[in-house]
Amino acid sequence: MTKTTLEILKGARELLSDPVRWYQGGYYYERDTGPCYCILGAANLVANGPDPHYPCGRRAMPIIVDTTEDKAMEAMAECVPEQFVNNHWNGKKFASIAAFNDDVHTTHEDVLKALDCAIARLEAPIS
């Protein structure tokens, strides 16, 4: 069953709420404490479920399977700092999100704030 954009973002936020589960430098990493994900890897896991080849949910890169996940990525891209906004790949803002997540100055708190911002934008009433 396809998840809504809001479900993807809230699920990624919940998954990354523990700093041990957040990762920089790739979509997925297996630590002694368990799997950890970048912001894109978390959204991908929530949207698509675990990869059957990698029970912990590892994927080499995010697999965008439908427009719902695409909308989640776009919502997150609206909430990353300005210096990352022009870093587009293939006409999408996914590279902006990855660059933001992996930047040496980005903290776990920054990632949660970006997810909170995207969730708030989607929950805000349309005027």
pLDDT tens digit sequence for 15-24: 999 999 999 9
Q: For residues 78 and 73, what is the distance between their CA atoms, to the nearest angstrom? A: 9
Q: For residues 111 and 12, what is the distance between their CA atoms, to the nearest angstrom? A: 10
pTM: 0.81
Domain ranges of the chain: 5-123
CA dihedral 15, 124, 68, 38 (to 10 degrees): -30
pLDDT tens digit sequence for 102-115: 999 999 999 999 99
Give the type of residue at 100: F
Query: Half-sphere exposure of residue 97, counting CA atoms within 13 Å on the CB side?
Result: 28
- Does residue 93 carry a pLDDT above 80? no
